[in-house]
Amino acid sequence: MKARRVAWYLAVLFLLMQLGASSLIGAETENSVPQDVFDGMRESFCAEKAIGIHARYQFELSGPAGGRWWIEVSDGTFKMGRGKVSNPNVTFITSDKDWVALSNGHLPGVWATLTGRLTIRGNQRLARKLDEIFP
């Protein structure tokens, strides 16, 4: 009987971890729409990680809160806006909800890519660098 109870508690704990229990226990406010994500990225820019980087990122998000956003990183500085950037080095294609889930840590990027929920076109090294530049 005791082993059953322990197994049940472990199963519940695992389920809470998978559902992102941090938001249920009162963690910091999370992004709810893509614009919140991009506004947060403005705040989290790490200039020292962007030194020597010259890249244009395009984001194409489907869904009701979706749209197009771009980020241009140039040797420790960045510009960001809505719309389309010319000649992007990296293009991220996903839904608005999946982009928010990725940014909140509820959807792992590798899993999103393997399941087709996220498509990354272009330079994969620069794609991975984005997470360092905007932690």
Domain of 120: which CATH number?
3.30.1050.10
* Co-location of 4 and 48 in the same domain: no
Which are the contacts of 20, defined by CB distance < 8 A and separation ≥ 6?
Answer: 104, 105, 106
Do the beta carbons of residue 50 and residue 72 sit within 8 Å?
A: no
* Co-location of 67 and 3 in the same domain: no
Do the beta carbons of residue 93 and residue 119 sit within 8 Å?
A: yes
Which are the contacts of 125, defined by CB distance < 8 A and separation ≥ 6?
Answer: none
Total domains in the chain come to: 2
* Co-location of 48 and 68 in the same domain: yes
**Structural domain that includes position 16:** 1-30
- Give pLDDT tens digits along the chain (135 positions): 555 543 434 343 343 344 444 334 444 567 789 999 999 999 999 999 999 999 999 999 999 999 999 999 999 999 999 999 999 999 999 999 999 999 999 999 999 999 999 999 999 999 999 999 999
pLDDT for 2 equals 53
User: Phi-psi category of 129—alpha, beta or left, where left has phi over 0 and alpha has psi -120 to 50?
Assistant: alpha
Phi, psi of 19 (to 5 degrees): -85, 0
* Co-location of 18 and 47 in the same domain: no
